[in-house]
Amino acid sequence: MRIGITYDLRSDYLAMGMSEEDSAEFDAEVTIAGIVAALASLGHEPVRIGNVRALTQRLVAGERWDAVFNICEGLHGIGREAQVPGLLDAYGIPHVFSDALTLAVSLDKGWTKRIVGAAGVPTPAFAVIERPTDIAKITLPFPLFAKPMAEGSGKGVDTRSRVNNPGELRTVANELLARFRQPVLVETYLPGREFTIGIVGTGDEARSLGVMEIMPKDNAHTTDYGFENKERCDEFVGYRIIDDAVACAAAEVALGAWRALRCRDGGRVDVRCDAKGDPQFIEVNPLAGLNPEHSDLCFIARFAGLAYQDLIGLIMSSFLRRHPELASRRAAA
């Protein structure tokens, strides 16, 4: 199959003057090269497309693909991750990973928690601060955790994200509102162990690849998995796969959220334990990083004994099960 690849290349945005943190969600060249090589080794014809504007130009010019492998994060707006899938749907082109609705909802951490909570998935109590006047209305008991509502890669999370009193909340929330120009999510602080769970598959066929514990080292700036720890994970973070009773409970929480949000093909779910040691849903990553040298999902696959090509193969197998017409066309070829 001829498979287009949509992505945002981080070096392009850095060259435009964007900061390291603002560009944190975008992809390195090694990621795109790795996907191209993996798809080719699986018998496909990969075609590099680029970001949503490049996709738009090529669609208007009449170019088409059998499918698109989409890891495009988007640049503007809370619905930015939904832009490429929505455009591909408009042109009737199947795409790997979640659809526009799931990507739009899951980037909004407040709506995400409402949906998974309604589905019975445990998640900490929360509130959304839309404007400065909302800060005084927060009645949740301290300590709390504050972060931008629609960012990933630990953006906006640092040593001050845990707030212990109304004064700290007011300072941090006002700074986040001004800096990111989006609402702030405030939730009950979870003091327990932190995990990220790799998932492949869709619906009832979705399964956990493994539960990886995130363990900040003594020299880490914070015990929370924020931007600095993620960017310099080799220095500040240790990882291990766990398979005990807590891991089983964390995987069930992750799969419950994954299915409630109708995520597809592959990604990650972040979970942290409360004061009782019970796993709680934090957030979902339906467009998880695929950097073979740096991304958590790739670490989990490696711990599970999977090569990078194997991970991409599992993702593509899930996609093709959703599109049997493509699978049969490929078999006939």
Do residues 18 and 40 share a domain? yes
Strand order across the beta sheet in which 162-163 lies: 126-129, 184-188, 144-148, 162-163
Q: 258: exposed, middle or buried (C-beta count within 10 Å: 0-12, 13-18, 19+)? A: buried
Owning domain of residue 55: 2-98
Q: Would 268 be classed as within a structural domain?
A: yes
Do residues 317 and 201 share a domain? yes
Do residues 23 and 49 share a domain? yes
Do residues 146 and 172 share a domain? yes
Q: Would 199 be classed as within a structural domain?
A: yes
Q: Would 108 be classed as within a structural domain?
A: no
Do residues 30 and 89 share a domain? yes
Give 261's pLDDT tier (boundaries 50, 70, 90).
very high
Q: What is the pLDDT of residue 159?
A: 87
Do residues 245 and 279 share a domain? yes
Q: What is the pTM of this model?
A: 0.91
Q: Would 183 be classed as within a structural domain?
A: yes
Q: What is the pLDDT of residue 112?
A: 97
Do residues 200 and 293 share a domain? yes
* CA 322, chain centre distance (Å): 21
Q: Which amino acid is at 185?
A: L
106-123: pLDDT as tens digits: 999 999 999 999 999 999
Do residues 198 and 183 share a domain? no
Do residues 203 and 226 share a domain? yes
**Domain limit, last residue, from 167, 188, 209:** 188
Q: Would 103 be classed as within a structural domain?
A: no
Q: Would 109 be classed as within a structural domain?
A: no
At 256, which CATH number?
3.30.470.20
Do residues 243 and 313 share a domain? yes
Buried b (16+ CB within 10 A) or exposed e, 134-167: bbeebeeeeebbbbbbbbbbbbbbbeebbbeeee
Q: Would 118 be classed as within a structural domain?
A: no
Q: What is the pLDDT of residue 154?
A: 78
CB 56 within 8 A of CB 74: no
At 174, which CATH number?
3.30.1490.20
What is the count of structural domains for the chain?
A: 3
62-85: pLDDT as tens digits: 999 999 999 999 888 889 999 999
Q: What is the pLDDT of residue 21?
A: 77
Residue 22: count of CB within 10 angstroms of its CB: 15
For the cut 80, the answer to whether the pLDDT of residue 316 exceeds it is yes
Q: Would 40 be classed as within a structural domain?
A: yes
- Residue 72: φ, ψ to 5°: -75, 120
